[in-house]
């Protein structure tokens, strides 16, 4: 038994109502189960019950065992002093208010039919399944999937927006600085994302603005602050960057973060940190007001033109310092831009729209629907189950679904699971 199932049973009144009584034997009637509370405090607010001949209004708390009340320290929390009903699966101890009176308690295992529990077990037992509901998932229509994936995608973006809002507060609403830090992290991918993020935090955006039009100094700044110009240098170009970096570092009184640990292993040459930082430097050399460019572009096709820098010169024959390769123009790929758009540009556009007082969802979908769906092991799994994935918003919704619902067995909280339970 999972607590999320108890929430479902209580919220939708999946229990027998006639002759309902509390654990103390007093008459109990449910008028309204209340509204789920996603914040702190009791699980449901605004419930109404008849108890011992009186109408009670207030919050409801749900637990597997009554002793969870004490295990979660609710008896020490003033927010729980006005709970009107304790809904449990099994009573193992009496639970009381601070004044010593017992809290009205409903034991659901006495009033829930076995058919409901059996159906839940059949649907969501994950033994030998990649997804708990895979045998029944075809009962969820394409129309239902469309609306559910839209909600899931917004949930995923909202998670990223929370982090963006924190940066906006940290940098005193300097959105250019926020985008700068986030882009560094995005260009670092999973391997170097954290190192790039810390490097970007050490670079004042005012210094970046002063180096606009000076590509070598910009590149030297980014490479140097990321720790890629240290040690004994045998490469002439790297030595030149090192010299320029020392000048810029001294001039602007910069402090280089220690122990960043930028890595090259497990990366394709096109994703080497040297190449990605060179691309970032070229981008900021050309675009001093990048955030405004991102905001004003009507769709990702236009925005791609801003980001599609082409590296020439030294980087035409190198992916890393000192290792020459066959000449090749290092063009910023559309697939990498799509990744940046999904993970950084769209969330910051959404956050900025919300900051200005708008909703942002219309703009969000106008952009994301123009980006092709992602292909990975998780989307492949849902593809095999004939789930309609049309664009990047859908694939992002699928990733959010798998991470936050499927892997956590939150089937009842998922629209798919909820629908299947009703059939």
Q: Residue 193 corresponds to which tokens in the numbers above?
A: 């994302």
From first to last of its 423 residues, the chain has per-residue pLDDT tens of: 788 889 989 998 999 888 899 999 999 999 999 999 988 899 999 999 999 889 999 999 999 999 999 999 999 999 999 999 999 999 999 999 988 899 999 999 989 988 888 888 877 776 567 888 888 899 999 999 999 999 999 999 999 999 999 999 999 999 999 999 999 999 999 999 999 999 999 999 999 999 998 999 999 999 999 999 998 888 999 999 999 999 999 999 999 998 888 999 999 999 999 999 999 999 999 988 899 999 999 899 999 999 999 998 999 999 999 888 999 988 899 999 999 999 999 999 999 999 999 888 898 999 999 999 999 999 999 999 999 999 999 999 999 999 999 988 888 889 999 898 886
Q: What is the DSSP letter of 188?
A: T
d(CA 165, CA 351): 7
Alpha carbon distance 332, 335 (integer Å):
9
- Rounded Cα gap, residues 354 and 161, in angstroms: 10
Report CA-CA distances (Å) from 237 to 6, 53, 80, 323, 326: 65, 86, 66, 12, 17
Closest CA to 378 of 402, 361, 355: 402
Please tell me the distance from the alpha carbon of residue 219 to that of residue 36, in angstroms, as a whole number. 52
pLDDT of 423 reads 66
**Helix, strand, coil tally for the chain in percent (to 5):** 50, 10, 35
Helix (H, G, I), strand (E, B) or coil at 206: helix
**Reported pTM:** 0.83
């Amino acid at each position: 038994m999972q607590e999320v199932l108890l929430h479902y049973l209580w919220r939708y009144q999946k229990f027998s109502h006639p002759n309902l009584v509390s654990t103390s034997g007093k008459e109990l009637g449910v008028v309204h189960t209340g509204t789920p509370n996603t914040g702190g405090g009791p699980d449901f607010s605004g419930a109404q019950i008849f108890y011992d001949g009186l109408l009670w209004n207030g919050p409801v708390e749900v637990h597997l065992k009554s002793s969870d009340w004490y295990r979660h320290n609710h008896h020490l929390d003033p927010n729980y002093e006005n709970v009107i009903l304790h809904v449990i699966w099994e009573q193992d101890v009496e639970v009381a208010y601070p004044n010593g009176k017992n809290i009205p308690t409903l034991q659901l295992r006495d009033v829930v039919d076995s058919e409901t529990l059996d159906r839940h077990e059949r649907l969501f037992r994950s033994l030998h399944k990649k997804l708990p509901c895979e045998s029944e998932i075809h009962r969820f229509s394409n129309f239902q999937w469309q609306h559910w994936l839209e909600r899931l995608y917004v949930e995923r973006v909202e998670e990223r927006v929370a982090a963006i809002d924190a940066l906006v507060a940290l940098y005193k609403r300097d959105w250019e600085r926020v985008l700068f830090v986030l882009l560094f992290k995005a260009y670092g991918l999973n391997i170097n994302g954290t190192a790039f993020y810390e490097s970007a935090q050490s670079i004042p955006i005012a210094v970046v603005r002063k180096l606009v039009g000076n590509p070598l100094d910009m590149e030297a700044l980014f490479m140097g602050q990321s720790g890629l110009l240290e040690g004994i240098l045998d490469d002439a170009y790297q030595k030149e960057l090192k010299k320029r970096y020392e000048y810029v570092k001294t001039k602007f009184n910069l402090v280089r973060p220690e122990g960043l640990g930028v890595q090259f292993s497990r990366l394709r040459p096109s994703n080497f940190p040297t190449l990605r930082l060179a691309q970032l430097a070229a981008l900021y050399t050309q675009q001093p007001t990048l955030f405004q460019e991102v905001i004003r572009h009507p769709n990702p096709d236009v925005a791609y033109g801003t980001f599609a820098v082409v590296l020439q010169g030294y980087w035409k024959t190198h992916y890393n310092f000192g290792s020459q390769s066959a000449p090749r123009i290092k063009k910023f790929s559309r697939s990498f831009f799509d990744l940046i758009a999904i993970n950084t540009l769209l969330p910051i556009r959404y956050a900025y729209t919300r900051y200005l007082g708008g909703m942002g969802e219309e703009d969000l979908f106008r952009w994301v629907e123009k980006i092709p769906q992602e292909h990975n092991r998780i989307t492949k799994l849902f593809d095999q189950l004939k789930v309609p994935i049309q664009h990047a918003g859908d694939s992002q919704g699928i990733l959010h679904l798998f991470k936050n619902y499927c892997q956590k067995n939150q089937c009842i909280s998922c629209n798919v699971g909820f629908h299947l339970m009703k059939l």
